[in-house]
């Protein structure tokens, strides 16, 4: 797998035309800390579809175990692209994919698989998923831990990507800048696309006094990925993750040329955000998006 060109999953930015923030944010409204109920999450997503902000991917992240709830909230005029999360492991995955396949209101965008939910080593787990998902569906595999990232990357098949958890409801779910940098360097060296999940509530690295957690920023991850794709050492990638000065961060991102942006976005595909307005609002406030675009709604 070493050195293969990164793939762009359906709905991702075009390799040569996408801008820095195009289709960056997947809708994770069902997940903490927002944790909308299904009805509210679907209504917000439909509203976002109407607004068509280019920063949103318009992919609705939904656990396989909640597909029934999702379908109950849709009418004949709704069309949703689903990022399906295999929260039940391989069990029930075939039925979930069939459920989406027979419903004209739904389209599968990609599959996200927590490998910790599947028995066996990474290679056998990935093979088990592929035996159900087939060869055409884009699959992001989440390693059981950051220590398993190299093993997971080696196990991935063509058309697979790496899912990295950047936070959560407990302190131990937040990887250190050094740990996250190592994973980005590993993925970039192997040409593996990455998506991120959890904890990325704001654009810039910050400390949340309410929880005591220090959160990674989604702009930090973009810059760190640009460094990793350019072949930088892990130290430089880590330094990008540690920036807390928004002006420094945005200045360095704006300095990237079109080819550098295309390369980084082919590697860093998207991240799941429980808010679909905060990322837009912060990017606009930092002058990274067109100020004439409509302000996001919470």
- What tens digit of pLDDT does each residue of 195-235 get? 999 989 899 999 999 889 999 999 999 999 999 999 999 99
Question: Residue 167: pLDDT band by 50, 70, 90 thresholds?
Answer: very high
Residue 16: per-residue pLDDT: 39
The pLDDT score that the predictor gives to residue 289 is: 67
pTM across the whole model: 0.91
Q: What is the pLDDT of residues 142-164, one digit of tens each?
A: 999 999 999 999 999 887 999 99
pLDDT computed for residue 295 by the predictor: 41
Question: Using an 8 Å Cβ cutoff, are 58 and 27 in contact?
Answer: yes
Q: Which CATH number fits domain 25-285: 1.10.10.10, 3.40.630.30, 3.40.640.10, 3.20.20.70?
A: 3.20.20.70
**pLDDT, position 136:** 85
Q: 């200045």: which residue's tokens?
A: 251
The predicted-structure confidence for 66-101, as pLDDT tens digits, reads as follows: 999 999 999 988 999 999 999 988 989 999 999 999
* Among the listed residues 196, 200, 199, 189, the one whose alpha carbon sits nearest the alpha carbon of residue 227: 189
Domain edges within the chain: 25-285
Q: Is pLDDT above 50 for 116?
A: yes
272 - beta bridge partners? 26
């Amino acid at each position: 797998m070493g050195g293969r060109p990164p793939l762009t999953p359906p709905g991702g930015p075009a390799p040569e035309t996408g801008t820095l923030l195009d289709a960056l944010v997947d809708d994770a409204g069902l997940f903490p800390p927002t944790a909308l109920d299904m009805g509210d999450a679907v209504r917000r997503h439909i509203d976002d579809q109407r607004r068509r902000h280019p920063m949103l991917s318009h992919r609705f992240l939904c656990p396989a175990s909640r597909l029934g709830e999702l379908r109950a909230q849709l009418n004949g005029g709704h069309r949703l692209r689903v990022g399906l999360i295999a929260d039940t492991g391989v069990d029930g995955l075939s039925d979930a994919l069939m459920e989406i396949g027979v419903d004209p209101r739904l389209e599968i965008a990609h599959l996200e698989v927590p490998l910790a939910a599947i028995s066996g080593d990474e290679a056998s787990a990935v093979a088990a998923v592929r035996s159900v998902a087939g060869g055409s569906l884009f699959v992001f595999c989440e390693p059981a831990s950051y220590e398993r990232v190299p093993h997971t990357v080696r196990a991935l098949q063509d058309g697979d990507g790496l899912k990295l958890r950047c936070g959560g409801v407990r302190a131990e779910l937040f990887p250190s800048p050094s740990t996250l940098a190592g994973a980005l360097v590993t993925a970039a060296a192997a040409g593996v696309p990455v998506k991120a999940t959890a904890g990325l509530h704001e654009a810039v690295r910050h400390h949340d006094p309410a929880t005591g957690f220090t959160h990674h920023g989604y702009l930090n991850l973009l810059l760190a990925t640009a460094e990793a794709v350019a072949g930088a050492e892990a130290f430089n990638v880590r330094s990008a993750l540690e920036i807390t000065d928004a002006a420094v961060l945005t200045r360095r991102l704006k300095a990237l040329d079109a080819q550098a942006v295309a390369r980084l976005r082919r590697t860093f595909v998207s991240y799941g955000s429980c808010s679909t307005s905060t990322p837009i609002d912060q990017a606009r406030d930092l002058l990274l998006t067109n100020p004439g675009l409509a302000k996001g709604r919470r």
